[in-house]
Chains A and B, each alone.
Chain A
Amino acid sequence: SQQGEEDPQALSIQEGENATMNCSYKTSINNLQWYRQNSGRGLVHLILIRSNEREKHSGRLRVTLDTSKKSSSLLITASRAADTASYFCATDARDSGSRLTFGEGTQLTVNP
């Protein structure tokens, strides 16, 4: 299986609810990033968490990182219909230079 696997593969919630997506990876990392992709568009960087950080916030986003479990979660609070998109985690392995390895993504649908 790939470095950077998200679950669930798909998530459907109602507007106002919180959405949690998880990511697991295999190797030691420098950092872990989350990206969003709207349908038919390129990926957009959301947030980065370094390997020595455990939690990070940005607006309605909260990211956690557990390096002992090699896992991360992305929480979107008070979701909006505009949050509907695919969300990808990307890992920067310590021996990989500047390359990122992307997971398969979670398709989030927020119903109005």
Chain B
Amino acid sequence: DAGVIQSPRHEVTEMGQEVTLRCKPISGHDYLFWYRQTMMRGLELLIYFNNNVPIDDSGMPEDRFSAKMPNASFSTLKIQPSEPRDSAVYFCASSPRWSGYYNEQFFGPGTRLTVL
């Protein structure tokens, strides 16, 4: 298995532009998570899906952020319009069906976003 795949790996854009980050989870995993990592705030959970349905989006910072999961093998995180404070590394992670005891998450390599 190729693991969790994210694209692009690096994105540099100007303030006000739309940014779309993409994620392909591990096949067969039921859960998909989007995180943001910065030096100041650490690793923050933005939103997660279970079987393509958003379960908790309380971490999404504001209406400029939106996430979709149209099918089990693809998810997007969109920022529109982007701002310099959105600069961060965005990680996607997936997890198998939750057993109640074991829910290891598998992380992608991340997308480093720089908003100028």
Contacts and interface: CB of A to CB of B under 8 A. Distances in A.
Nearest to A30: B101
Interface string A93-104: 000011111111
Interface residues of A, number: 23
B109 A42 contact: yes
A102 B42 contact: yes
A81 interface: no
Contacts of A42: 4, 91, 93, 107-110
Nearest to B98: A98
Contact of B105 (A31, A45, A97, A104): A45
Contact of A41 (B33, B102, B109): B109
A10 interface: no
* B interface, over-half SS: strand
* A interface, over-half SS: strand
Interface in A13-28: none
B102 to A, nearest CB: 6
Given A97-B55, A98-B95, A98-B98, A45 B42 contact: no
Which of B4, B48, B91, B103: most chain A Cβ within 10 A?
B103
Interface of B: 4, 31, 33, 42-43, 45, 48, 50, 55-56, 91, 93, 95, 98, 100-110
